[in-house]
Structure 1
Amino acid sequence: MDYTEAWTVYSNSTVTGPEEEPEELCNLDPNPVEAITQTYIHGIICAFGLIGNLLVIVTYIFYKRTKTMTDVYLYNVAVADLIFVVALPFIIYNEAHSWLMGSAVCKMLRSVYSINLYSGMLLLACISGDRYFAIVQARRFFGTRSRTLIYSRLICSAVWVFAVALTLPTLIYTECVEEQNLWAGTVTVMCQLSFRTSQKAKLMKVLVPSLQMAIGFLLPLLVMVFCYSSIVYTLLRAHSTQRHKAVRVILAVVVVFIVCQLPYNVVLLDHTLSLFKERSCDAEKLKLKVLAICRSIAYLHCCLNPILYAFIGVKFRSHFQQIMVDLWCFSKKYIYSSRASRATTEVCISGFKTSDASNNMSSFTA
C-alpha cells in the first residue's frame, strides 16, 4: 500500500533568492518495463493463489467430514487469501490506469489488502497457538480440544471483526483523486488515501502503516516464534521417527513468514519515518522501487500458505488426489456418449464416497 503522492516537489538545490528557478517536479511514476514486470509477477501470484486456496476451501467443505480447530483456522486463512487474490487484478489495474469504477468500489478495493493482512496474519498466529496446545500442552488439554471446536469459530469471527475495525481508517479516507500528469499532459483518477488537512494526513500516514507493522507483522511473529520454538523443543525431547520432519516443516513455516513479510515491513517503516523529511528525487525513486519489490514478495505469502499449511500434510494430499480423480471422472461425463457417461458417473460416485469414508482423519494438516 502506497502512502505517497504520484507527484511530489523535491528540492535538489538550495534556494538563495526570489529570482532563483522554482523547485523542479519529480516524476515518481514507474518506467514501463518495471510496470509490465510487476504486472506479470502479480498475475502469477494471483493464478497460483487462486488455485491453491480454492483447493483448500473445496477440501474443507466437500472432503473433510471431521473438522479440527486448525482446519477451521486454515479455512479462514484460505478465504482471506482468496479474497485478496480476486481483488489483486483490480489493484494491478489501479496502479497502471485511471480508475473508472467509482468511489464505493475504490474504498472496497483499498480495504481488501488491509483486511487480508490483519485477518491472515492473526489466523496464522492462531494456528501456531493451536499446535502449541496440541503438542506442548497435550496432557493438560487431552480430550478437551475436540469439544472446543465452537471456540475456534468464535475466535475466527473475532479476528474478522478486529480486522475490519482496524481497516476503518483506510475505508474512510480512501477516495478517487484526480491527478495531473504534467509530463504527459493528462489527468488520471487514482484510488488512494486522501486527506482534507495536513495534520490529519500526518496522523493517518503514520498510524495506518504503524498498525500494519505492529499487529499485522510483529504480534503474529512473536506468537509464532514462541509457540514454534516451544514445539521444536518438545519434539526434540520426544522419541519419534517423525520429529525431524516436523521440525523441518516448522522451520519452513517460520522462515517463509520472515522472508516474505520482514523486508516489506522494514522498508515500510523506513519509508514512513522519512515521509515528512526532505528527500532527493533519486533517493525517493529508489525507495519506492524497493518498496514495490518487497510488497510483491509479501504478496507471495497468499499462494505459499496452502503449500506450507495444507499440501505438506499427507492427509490433505490424499484428499487432493481424490479431488483430481473426481474432476477427471466428471469431465469424462461430458466427453463420452450417454452410455459411457452413465458408467463414468458410477465410478465418480464411488470415488467420492471413498473420499468421504476417509474423512475420519483428525486433520488434513498432519
Structure 2
Amino acid sequence: MVSVTSDYDYSAEGDYSDDGLCNLNPNPVEDIIQTCIHSIICFFGLIGNALVIVTYIFYKRTKTMTDVYLFNVAVADLVFVVALPFIIYNERHSWLMGPVACKMLRSAYSINLYSGMLLLACISGDRYVAIVQARRSFGARSRTLIYSRLICSVVWVCAVALTLPTLIYTEHFEEQNLGAETVTVMCQLSFSKNETAKLMKVLVPGLQMAIGFLLPLLVMVFCYCRIMCTLMRAQSSLRHKAVRVVFAVVVVFIMCHLPYNVTLLNHTLSLFKERSCEPEKIKLQVLAISRSIAYLHCCLNPILYAFIGVKFRSHFQQIMLDLWCFSKKYIYSARTSRRTSDICISGHVSSDGSNNMSYLSARHCSGTNLSKTDN
C-alpha cells in the first residue's frame, strides 16, 4: 500500500547500498494497523467537524471573526476525513476509481494541510488582537467580519495554488514488477525529466514544512505567548483556565505536527544520497506513524477551538436536545399512524391517556426546536 500522502516517492531517487532489490512496501500487519487508525480518525473527525459546521450554520446566530475561521477549519478537516476512506479503498484495490480520482484524492490532503494550518494561524492572530490589543480593536470588531471572510478566501486560494504541483504531477499509471509478470497500479508523483523530479521532490516537502508547519508555528508561538502574558497580568478568576487552554492549543499542535515534519526533513535531506535498505524501511515506518499522529489534529481541532468554549457547548447541548425531541416526535407519529390504522380497521374510536401524554411531550419538544440559540 502506497503511503496515503506520498506526494513524493522516496524510493524513486537515490541509490541503495544493498545488493538486489529493496522492498519498501509495508507488511500486512502494518497495513491493517494503519487502516484501523485511519478509520478511527475518519469517524471522530467526521463527527466533530460536522457538529462544528452544523452549529455554525443553524444554531449560532451572532458570528464573530473567530467563528468564520473555525467554520473554514472544520470544512478543511472535513474535506480530508471524507477523502481518506476513498484513498484507503483505492490503494487496496489498485485505484479502481481512475486517474481523476487519483489526482483529486491525492490533492485533498495538501489542501487540508495548507488551508487548515494557515487558518489556525489566523485564529491565533485574531485572539491576539482581541486580547492583547483589546483597546484598539474594541470599536472595530463589528466592522471586521467581512475581512475575516476575505482572509479565508485568500487562504483557500493560496492552499489551492500550493497544491498545484501535486495536482499536476500526480499520475495514475501501471508499473511492471521486476522479476515478475504482474503489474502494480500506482498513483503518485511522476516526472518525465530528472531535473523536474529533483526540483519537485525538494520543493513540495519544502513548502509543506515551511508554510504548512513552520510559519503557522511561529505565528502561534508569538501570539499565544503575548496572550498568556496579558492573561497572567489580568485580575480574573478565569485567567488560569484561559492560560491552560492556550497552553494546550500550542502543545497539541507541536506534538501532532513536529514529529512528522522532522521525519520529513530527514527524508528530504537524504533523497539523493546512497541509502541502505533496512534503515530506509525504518525511516518509512517512522514517517507513517508520525503522519498518522499528524492526522489526529483534525479530530482534536473541534475540541480545542470550538467545543471547549461555553457557547459552543451550549449549542451542542441544544443539538442533542433537538435530536432527542425529533426522535420522540417521529416515534409518536409512527405510533399514531399505526393506531389510526387500527381504529379504521376495527371501526371504533378509543381514548388513551398515555397517548395524550405522548402528545403533550411532543408539543413540549416542538417548543424547544431552534428557539434557544445565541443570547
Partner residue in 1 for 2:9:
4
- Residue 9 (structure 1) shift: 8.3
**2-side partners of 1:269 and 1:193: how far apart?**
18
Match of 1:347 in 2: 364
How far off its partner does 1:182 sit?
4.2
Query: Which runs of structure 2 are paired with 1:55-204 in the superposition (5 Å)?
Result: 55-182=51-178, 185-204=181-200
Alignment of 1:203-352 (within 5 A): 203-336=199-332, 337-338=335-336, 343=360, 345-352=362-369
Counterparts of 1:140 and 1:218 in 2: how far apart (Å)? 29
CA contact (8 A) 2:14 2:273 kept: no
Structure 2, unpaired ranges of 5+: 337-354
Q: Does 1:27 align with 2:32?
A: no
Contact 1:10 1:281 in 2 (8 A): no
Q: Deviations over 1:225-245 (max 9, x none)?
A: 010000000000110000000
Q: 1:93 to 1:214 in 2, by over 3 A?
A: same
Q: Distance in 2 between matches of 1:7 and 1:32?
A: 22
Distance in 2 of aligned mates of 1:309 and 1:166:
25
Deviations along 1:81-119, whole A, 9 cap, x unmatched?
Answer: 000000011222244331111111111111110000000
Note if contact 1:100-1:189 (Cα within 8 Å) is conserved in structure 2. no
Give, in angstroms, the shift of residue 64 of structure 1.
0.3
RMSD: 1.8
1:25 is paired with a residue whose SS is coil
Name the SS for the 1:334 alignment partner. helix
How far apart are 1:147 and its partner, in Å? 1.5
For 2:297, the aligned partner's letter is H
3-state SS, counterpart of residue 172 of structure 2: strand
Q: Per the alignment, in what secondary structure is the counterpart of residue 142 of structure 1?
A: helix
Q: Equivalents in 2 of 1:97, 1:194: separation in Å? A: 20
* Percentage identity across paired residues of the two chains: 77
Match of 1:163, SS? helix
Instruction: In structure 2, give the amino acid aligned to 1:313.
Output: G
Q: Report the alpha carbon displacement of residue 344 of structure 1 after superposing the two structures with TM.
A: 5.0
Does the Cα contact within 8 Å between 1:329 and 1:345 map onto a contact in 2? yes
Give the greater-gyration-radius structure (CA): 2
Normalising by structure 2, what TM-score? 0.89
- Please give the TM-score of this superposition, normalised by the length of structure 1: 0.91
Mapped partners of 1:137, 1:270: distance in 2: 39
Cα-to-partner distance string for 1:179-206 (whole Å, 9 max, x where unaligned): 2344775312121111111110000010
CA distance in 2, matches of 1:86, 1:276: 35
Q: Secondary structure at the match of 1:189?
A: strand
Looking at structure 2, the residues matched to 242 and 32 of structure 1 have their Cα atoms a distance apart, in angstroms, of 50
- Asked whether the equivalents of residues 111 and 170 of structure 1 are also in contact (C-alpha less than 8 Å), the reply is yes
**SS of equivalent residue, structure 1 residue 192:** strand
Deviations 1:262-310 (A, max 9, x none): 0000000110111111100001100100000000000000000000001
Which shows bigger deviation, 188-197 or 50-59?
188-197
Distance 2:210 2:161 in 1: 15
Say whether the 8 Å CA contact 1:49–1:303 is kept in structure 2. yes
